[in-house]
Chains A and B, each alone.
Chain A
Amino acid sequence: MSVLSTQKDDVQQEPTPHSNWFMTQIRKKEWSPYAAGTMLGITVALSLLLAGQLPGSSGSFENLIAFLGTKIDANNIYFRFIMPAGITWQVWLMLGVFLGAFFSAWLSHDFRWRKMPDKQWISVFGTARWKRWLIAFLGGTILEIGAGIAGGCTSGLAISGGVQLAPAAFLFIPGMFISGIITAAIIYRKNY
């Protein structure tokens, strides 16, 4: 049980500190979430200032899968009108997100190919790889359907909507946490 409550195991010791404060921060595996959140908040505000729109993640996957969706059913209303196929602004943003996370991981020596998540998953669900991949796929699908219904995800609706005080964001966040807590309680049962 104590193994589950503190999961610091996969965060290995910090790389050798640099004399330069800036480089030390760059090479850190993890920042305080308040520091990372501050950077995220500035990024979101600058996005509105520079591009006139706010970042979101889930929409880009829908724009991409719409290429396939419209092939299957050309009259699909969702892909025709709500999330049309295209290499949209959000798709380019997603490329940046991928690269940004990659550079962050690479520079902090955190990058490696992983087929399984860290110890917490293994201690709860075992080492079966198919189980992780199946649940990752199903969970990702459910997550994207939810984002489609709500009109955004954690970034596109909760954060980007929330910073503009959009009411939709404050309906989405409680929903996400209510069912997240219930789901976690169900899958972790006695370990919750």
Chain B
Amino acid sequence: MSTIVIPVIIGLAFGWSLHKAGMTRYHKIVNVFRFTDLAVLKLMMAAMVVGMGLIYTFVGFGWVTLAISTPVYVLGNFVGGLVFGVGMAGAGF
């Protein structure tokens, strides 16, 4: 049960905040690459700063263990990012 209910609830909050930040709009995504609307960057940085603070607080209390799912593979991570960016700027997703 919790393997379904919890991800759906987390997803609700996730999708909600993405829509409220305007991430469902083509121009919001593309304009970050044109430096005319930095909402994507603001959202990412705000989420990362808040998330980092909370997660490392939880780690400090020993409540969670980090769950890094992507191993470091310098070329793969970087080249994957390069390919990803082409699709993102083209489609605006």
Contacts and interface: CB of A to CB of B under 8 A. Distances in A.
6 contacts: A40-B17, A40-B18, A40-B46, A145-B87, A154-B84, A163-B51
A171 B27 contact: no
A191 to B, nearest CB: 9
A148 interface: yes
Interface string A144-164: 111111111111111111111
B50 A101 contact: no
B12 A105 contact: no
A171 B11 CA distance: 26
B21 A51 contact: no
A103 interface: yes
A155 B14 contact: yes
A153 B84 contact: yes
Q: State the majority secondary structure of interface residues on B.
A: helix
A176 interface: yes
Interface residues of B, number: 77
Contacts of B68: 161, 164, 166, 168
Given A34-B46, A92-B8, A101-B16, A176 B84 contact: yes
Contact of A157 (B19, B39, B53, B70): B70
Contacts of A28: 20
A33 B43 contact: yes
B81 A173 contact: yes
Interface core residue of B18, B36, B81, B86 (most chain A CB under 10 Å): B81
A180 interface: yes
Nearest to A138: B90
Contacts of B63: 49
Interface residues of A, number: 105
Given A117-B26, A177-B33, 5 more contacts: A30-B20, A40-B18, A138-B90, A175-B78, A192-B34
B11 A7 contact: no
Given A166-B68, A166-B70, A176 B88 contact: yes
Contacts of A135: 90-91
Contacts of A7: 27, 31, 37
A120 B12 CA distance: 29
A93 to B, nearest CB: 4
Contacts of B16: 39, 100-101, 103-104
Interface string A76-103: 0000000000000110111111111111
Contact of B64 (A48, A153, A175, A178): A48
